[in-house]
Amino acid sequence: MAKWSLRRRPGRALGLLLLVILSFLVLRSWLLQDPGMKLRTTYKGFTEAVDLYFDHLMSRVVPLQYKHGGPIIAVQVENEYGSYNKDPAYMPYVKKALEDRGIIELLLTSDNKDGLQKGVVQGVLATINLQSQQELKLLSNFLLSVQGVQPKMVMEYWTGWFDSWGGPHNILDSSEVLETVSAIIKAGSSINLYMFHGGTNFGFINGAMHFHEYNADVTSYDYDAVLTEAGDYTAKYTKLRDFFGSISGTPLPPPPDLLPKMSYEPMMPSFYLSLWDALIYLDDPIKSEKPINMENLPVNNGNGQAFGYILYETTIFSSGILSGLVRDRGQVFVNTVSIGFLDYKTTKITIPLTQGYTTLRILVENCGRVNYGNNIDDQRKGLIGNLYLDNSPLKNFRIYSLDMTKQFFQRFNIDKWSIIPQTPAAPAFFLGGLSVGLYPSDTFLKLEGWAKGVVFVNGQNLGRYWNIGPQETLYLPGVWLEKGLNQVIIFEEILAGSTVQSTDSPYLGRNHYVN
């Protein structure tokens, strides 16, 4: 992950000053194949992976440093480690690992008020992350007491906030943003806006927060940022542009024209493929006496499965209380009938009276890997450990990897699909075509009447939707579309709607002002 800002070098054209951030946000799920893994520590299995990664990455970064004639002026050692702080030896290890591989530019840390005291490292410039003027005074005074008179930088000034499923759409007043930015500049500090442009968590990359409880982020990362999810200007943009223009000393050029938005005709899916019928077109299931978590599945050349869904099947012979740890959300089926869900809060469910051999199925969704919180070591997805029926562990599982990549959908040729039944059962895939004119433009899809699932457009994963909100529209960039008919596949978990609406404006939910 990287952050960047612009500055003019003496006697040279405007250059890109890149701050390379080597943070836990880029950790790979295969690290959790090790049952003893301790991420972001000096645990041997983790440092071996970091060292190998740095060997490759730094060989590319080192020649691009400013002292070698390149654009990189600083390297951030880690990101908000003070809020995690599981190993006091870890940050010095990362610092040394960078220096040993030839990093000679300014080293930085970046922490918020909860972690700043524990995030500082000897010989590394500490910077701060904040949202209010009160925090600015508090954190600046702390930095002054710790590292004396040093350059001051707000590495992350939070211009808004992210949203979680089931919550509101968080916003921050534009006048408050202007006042805080002005105070930061008047305090003699450099500033980086987080976010200037929020963007979108396309695919399955939305992430999550987990301290006391697990909260998955929505697909949109609009963040109430200076530019919207689709790159449009906001009141924050106008006010900040005027403010920076007033202190720049030179007239600002006119801003670029915005991309057009379009409302297309509603799309009605035409074809249908139930999940149960789709299974025969997938690779043979993995057979295992016990459940296997997603990361340890013997797929993808031994790297396991990182994202998507996983389906577990076994045979039961009686009713009872089903219990187990499901990460993150599992829909339970008796044969093909849904009987409820297991998740972080619901760990038991009653299996109704059955006769004879019955197939028990659990469709587990990886709702997003934790990118902030103290539970990153517990991010194995799927069924974790044994699944019990009346306290007896179930055996002999058939496990399907449902990563829903492009290769996954290539198995479903058009002859595999059928006409949508009058009352389509879920979970299922729905196929339709979005008609686009000569000039494809950005749009927003609204799945009113649908319950929960994922949308794929021309083979690309647009993201998740869920009727608990707050987000009600999915941003669809015009560059994803082609003139004519565009393929849309919807994977619906619970209850299908009849149409997919297209609108030229987003709706991200009920507004809630960030405290």
Positions marked catalytic = 80, 156
Amino acid letter for position 81: Y
* 319 DSSP 8-state letter: -
Contact present, 381 and 343 (Cβ < 8 Å): no
Residue the block writes with tokens 């405290």: 515
Task: State the sign of the Cα–Cα–Cα–Cα dihedral 85, 88, 90, 96.
Answer: positive
Contact present, 404 and 248 (Cβ < 8 Å): no
* Angle at CA of residue 369, ends 368 and 372, nearest 5°: 115
Pairing of strands 452-457, 460-466: antiparallel
SS3 241: helix
Instruction: Give the C-alpha separation, 164 to 49, whole Å.
Output: 31
Instruction: Give the C-alpha separation, 263 to 221, whole Å.
Output: 22
Name residues whose C-beta falls within 8 Å of residue 309's C-beta, 6 or more positions apart in sequence: 363, 364, 365, 366, 402, 403, 404
Pick from 307, 308, 309, 348: nearest CA to 325: 348
C-alpha dihedral over 189, 191, 194, 196, to 10 degrees? Answer: 150
Contact present, 305 and 377 (Cβ < 8 Å): no
Pick from 271, 226, 261: nearest CA to 420: 271
SS3 46: helix
Helix axes 174-186, 235-248, angle to 10 degrees: 30
